[in-house]
Amino acid sequence: MSLNDTNPFEAAMRQLDLVAEELSLDKKIVEVLKHPNRVVITSLPVKMDDGTIKVFTGYRVQYSRHRGPYKGGIRYHPNVNLDEVKALAAWMTWKCAVADIPYGGSKGGITCNPKEMSSAELERLTRRYTSSIVRDIGPFKDIPAPDIYTDSQTMAWLLDTYSEFQGYAVPGVVTGKPISVGGSEGRAGATGRGAALCTREAARHLGIDMNGATVAIQGYGKVGRSVAQVLREMGCIIIAISDSKGGIFNQNGLDPVKVLEHKKRTGSVVDFKDSTYVANKDLLELDCDILIPAALENVLTEENAPRIKVKIISEGANGPTTPEAGAILHKKGVMMIPDILANCGGVTVSYFEWAQNLNRLHWTLDEVNQKLEQKIVKAFNDVLEISTKRNISMRLAAYVLGVSRVAEALGVLGLFP
Ligand code: GLU
């Protein structure tokens, strides 16, 4: 199987089947959980800078509102398609349940290549997309956030457009926005911090010293760069980092801050001084203690899984491991911290941001990071306990926790009519 021919929604549903079997879930509940509540597909005509008009396709999939309002990011990427957005929306549902925050799950996306678009074009695209889903989102309905190739600026345009439609400022409609318009301290680095905290807990459980532990990181976007910095603060040695253009390697360690400066200056981590080149696929197979896939889906497959050498994998990205690869790695004894646990720090601080907005509060960075650590340590240990008690992988255990919480909510809510 090649890298990207796994349909992510089918993979998500195969995972759900495994959980349903493990939990002996009522078939009627499984049937409901296998369908998103609502899917919005919208055509987005945008005036390009050269005067032409391009029509993009946008999606918003509202998967489940059983535990609270829909919640999930918006992705801008050439590969965005309905099945991917559906899978990501299902994962958000289980993720919010694992993190034990009062949300359902959703996801949005636009098929586009933001790297080839100007900021003005991206702004027009974002505002048009927002206007097309303006009736579907809201602080008590569905709360978007950043995802791949969207950021706090994207959220500011979304917030402004939504507020313009309402006639007043509605900061709680999006999270991950700039601090000047109601964003939270610590949100930008929250996903990476959460993945690093999960890694620390896993290392503690396995008796691995974080001081001197070696790490490879695939992806140097919002998640990769913050996980690198926090792991380095914890004493780890970051020996390899990559982005979509390729990777860099230095057995003695790379300085994450200097690598970031280099990337900001040149557009990529490649050619960073004192490093040798490593291809993205080889980075995954390096001989080190910890691997953080923090880019796209389906990078760990049944083809490369047998060659993976690390002791801990913490999934900063959503869906980087195919179910087949997950089974192989679990059998090999690799401690896999699954995406819905490893990267739930982002949506957890999104929840803090939303709670601050609704209460007109602003917490300090220390308060945010402390609350985040409490949530992550609790979620990690809840999953570890299920994994140990049932003698199942951490992935299956995380799904057992997430899906059972959603199923419980569905059970008490019942069906309308
Ligand atoms: N896009 C992030 C995720 O996949 C964050 C979602 C959010 O904060 O709502 O978890």
Q: What is the mean pLDDT of residues 15-35?
A: 96
Q: What is the DSSP letter of 307?
A: G
Give the atom of ligand 1 at the shortest distance from the alpha carbon of 175: 8
Percentage above 90 pLDDT, the chain = 95
Mean pLDDT of the chain: 96
Cα–Cα distances (Å) from 13 to 17, 18, 206, 337, in that order, read 6, 9, 31, 19
Give the atom of ligand 1 at the shortest distance from the alpha carbon of 72: 9
- Say how many Å lie between the CA of residue 84 and the centre of ligand 1: 15
Residue 130 has φ and ψ, to the nearest 5°, of -60, -45
Write out pLDDT tens, residues 147-162: 999 999 999 999 999 9
What would the DSSP string read from start to end of 156-172? HHHHHHHHHHHTS--GG
Q: What is the pLDDT of residue 323?
A: 84
Ligand 1: residue of 77, 95, 101, 147 to mutate (most ligand atoms within 8 A of CB) is: 147
Write out pLDDT tens, residues 29-64: 999 999 999 999 999 999 999 999 999 999 999 999
- Catalytic annotation, residues: 107
Whether pLDDT at 2 is above 70 = no
Percentage above 70 pLDDT, the chain = 99
Give the atom of ligand 1 at the shortest distance from the alpha carbon of 146: 1
What would the DSSP string read from start to end of 290-303? EEEE-S-SS-B-TT
Write out pLDDT tens, residues 323-368: 889 999 999 999 999 999 999 999 999 999 999 999 999 999 999 9
Q: What is the pLDDT of residue 256?
A: 98
Ligand 1: residue of 347, 354, 356 to mutate (most ligand atoms within 8 A of CB) is: 347
- Say how many Å lie between the CA of residue 347 and the centre of ligand 1: 5
- Say how many Å lie between the CA of residue 330 and the centre of ligand 1: 26
- Say how many Å lie between the CA of residue 274 and the centre of ligand 1: 34
d(CA 114, CA 119): 9
For the chain, list the domains and their CATH numbers: 36-172 (3.40.50.10860), 190-342 (3.40.50.720)
Q: What is the pLDDT of residue 365?
A: 98
| Residue 92 DSSP SS3 | helix
Q: What is the pLDDT of residue 7?
A: 87
Contact indicator for 354, 411 with CB cutoff of 8 Å: no
Give the atom of ligand 1 at the shortest distance from the alpha carbon of 349: 8
Query: Which regions of 25-97 does DSSP assign to beta strands (E)?
Result: 38-47, 53-64, 70-77
Ligand 1: residues whose CB is within 6 Å? 71-73, 145, 147, 175-176, 318, 343, 346-347, 350
Write out pLDDT tens, residues 87-101: 999 999 999 999 999
- Say how many Å lie between the CA of residue 50 and the centre of ligand 1: 33
Q: What is the pLDDT of residue 253?
A: 98
| Packed helices 190-206 and 222-233: angle between N→C axes, nearest 10 degrees | 50
Write out pLDDT tens, residues 375-386: 999 999 999 999
Q: What is the pLDDT of residue 225?
A: 97
Ligand 1: residue of 350, 375, 376 to mutate (most ligand atoms within 8 A of CB) is: 350
3 pLDDT band, cuts 50/70/90, is very low
d(CA 235, CA 384): 24
Give the atom of ligand 1 at the shortest distance from the alpha carbon of 350: 8
- Residues 332, 338, 341, 344: is their CA dihedral positive or negative? positive
- Say how many Å lie between the CA of residue 107 and the centre of ligand 1: 8
Q: What is the pLDDT of residue 9?
A: 93
- Say how many Å lie between the CA of residue 212 and the centre of ligand 1: 30
Closest CA to 48 of 109, 105, 128: 128
d(CA 9, CA 19): 15
* Residue minimizing CA distance to atom 8 of ligand 1: 347
Give the atom of ligand 1 at the shortest distance from the alpha carbon of 71: 9
Rg of the chain over Cα atoms, rounded to whole angstroms, equals: 20
Whether pLDDT at 216 is above 80 = yes
Q: What is the pLDDT of residue 296?
A: 86
5 pLDDT band, cuts 50/70/90, is low
Closest CA to 327 of 307, 298, 305: 305
* Residue minimizing CA distance to atom 9 of ligand 1: 72
The secondary element (H helix, E strand) that includes residue 310 is none
